[in-house]
Amino acid sequence: MTFSFGTIYKIRVFGESHGTCIGAVVEGCPPGITIDTGRIQAELDRRRPGRNILTTQRKEGDVMQLLSGVLDGVSTGAPITMIIRNEDVDSSAYKNIEVTPRPGHADLMATIKYKGHNDLRGGGIFSGRMTAAFVMAGALAKQVLDGKGIKVLSHIVQIGNVKAKEGIEDQKIEGIDQDAIHCADAGAASLMEKEVYGAMSDSDSIGACIECRIIGMPPGVGEPMFDSVESVISHAMFSIPAVKGVEFGSGFQSASMKGSENNDPFIFKNGKIITKSNNAGGVLGGISTGMPIVFKVAIKPTPSIGKRQKTVDMKTKKETIIEMSGRHDPCIGIRAVPVIENMAAICALDLLMRSGL
């Protein structure tokens, strides 16, 4: 079992969906950083359940409590511990999943791996709620990145078959209305909303794709061979439940391109070498180029759905039907936006620190 991530800026997460709390311990935050707890809370609020009809109706305040590592609003260099308490806990909908595991969820695999001792309530450690810990640690990392002129932005670029325009300006992504679907293309956003309502009215769920940009990363960051920029970010992204794909720059589309189309020509701008295009997604040889690091993350449709689905009964050893009740996100992608963004901030800061920057 591994609940920690990072080399210098290290995070350790703990808690369960229906336990006492969810938390993160951060080691490696430099001393002397002024910590704005309001900003950490604001990031948590972006992820918080029950904010609108398009997300799970579990109502949690997700109020962050800072337990260690900050004195008079300034980091001391000691581990920083942050928690949120679980308040709106209703485990009744999870009574039978040990016997009839949910298709698409981790119930069966967790029961096999942990020999039935795992906490299945609300998905236990496999719940999307664990990602609040990633958000707290990332929101802290963002405050260190600020001082280095680096920012991380993200928005939804696809829900179901609806896609946003390519190449939307950074400023538009930064200015997104945080309460709606987090897509900077307003026209596509309203169609995406319809896709989510369509899935909901059919007792179903729907997948999504999120684009993330790390802007201001200097060239030369990344640790080939095995801790390349892509490897570290992909590792982090695949630790987020429901993530099923990560691509950098032209990604899978590059399989259908010619070298002459995919190569990004080097040019000089204000005395600096940059590239004219950014099909590489800001990474060459696993090392940052100085261009924005751009990647997309595919999020699968929520496994817990109201529709009748086939599963097995572990007691009778017969096939059976499951109909999930409970409170679930119809489209995980909507709440995953701040999770991906803050996880990317953790990676960016750790990679920078490993380069001595």
Q: Which of residues 128 and 160 has its CB atom nearest to ligand FMN in the complex?
A: 128
Give me the DSSP letters along 153-216. EEEEEEETTEEPPSS--HHHHHT--TTS-S-S-HHHHHHHHHHHHHHHHTT----EEEEEEEES
Residue among 328, 341, 348, 349 that touches ligand FMN (CB under 6 A): 328
Contacts of 120 (CB under 8 A, 6+ apart): 94, 97, 98, 107, 110, 111
Under the binding rule (CB under 6 A), the answer on residue 17 touching ligand FMN is: no
Interface mask toward ligand FMN for 329-348; x: CB under 6 A: x--x--xx--x---------
Which residue number, 126 or 248, has a Cβ lying nearer to ligand FMN? 126
> Does 301 participate in binding ligand FMN (rule CB under 6 A)?
no
Contact pattern for ligand FMN over residues 242 through 281, marking x by CB under 6 A: x---------------------------------------
Which range, of 111-119, 163-171, 182-190, 327-335, touches ligand FMN by CB under 6 A? Answer: 327-335
- How far is Cα 90 from Cα 96, in angstroms, rounded to an integer? 14
Considering beta carbons, is residue 160 or 303 the nearer one to ligand FMN? Answer: 303
Tell whether residue 302 is a contact of ligand FMN (CB under 6 A). yes
Query: Can residue 100 be called a binding residue for ligand FMN (CB under 6 A)?
Result: no
Residue that the structure tokens 């701008």 belong to: 269
Which range of residues in 30-38, 142-150, 224-232, 234-242 is near ligand FMN by CB under 6 A? 234-242
Interatomic CA distance for residues 9 and 69, integer angstroms: 14
Q: Which two tokens stand for residue 51?
A: 């904010």
Tell me whether residue 69 or residue 123 sits nearer to ligand FMN (CB atom).
123
Instruction: Please provide the distance, in angstroms rounded to a whole number, between the alpha carbons at the two ends of the chain.
Output: 31
Closer by beta carbon to ligand FMN, 99 or else 274: 99
Residue 332 contacts residue 199 (beta carbons within 8 Å): no
Is the preceding omega at residue 225 within 30 degrees of 0, hence cis? yes
- In which element (H, E) is residue 11 found? strand 10-15
CB count, 10 Å around CB of 316?
Answer: 10
Residue of 11, 24, 64, 240 interacting with ligand FMN (CB under 6 A):
240
Asked if 126 is part of the footprint of ligand FMN (rule: CB under 6 A), the reply reads yes
Phi, psi (deg, nearest 5) at residue 37: -65, -25
- Could you list the residues that contact ligand FMN (CB under 6 A)? 56, 105-106, 123, 126-128, 131, 240-242, 300, 302-304, 328-329, 332, 335-336, 339
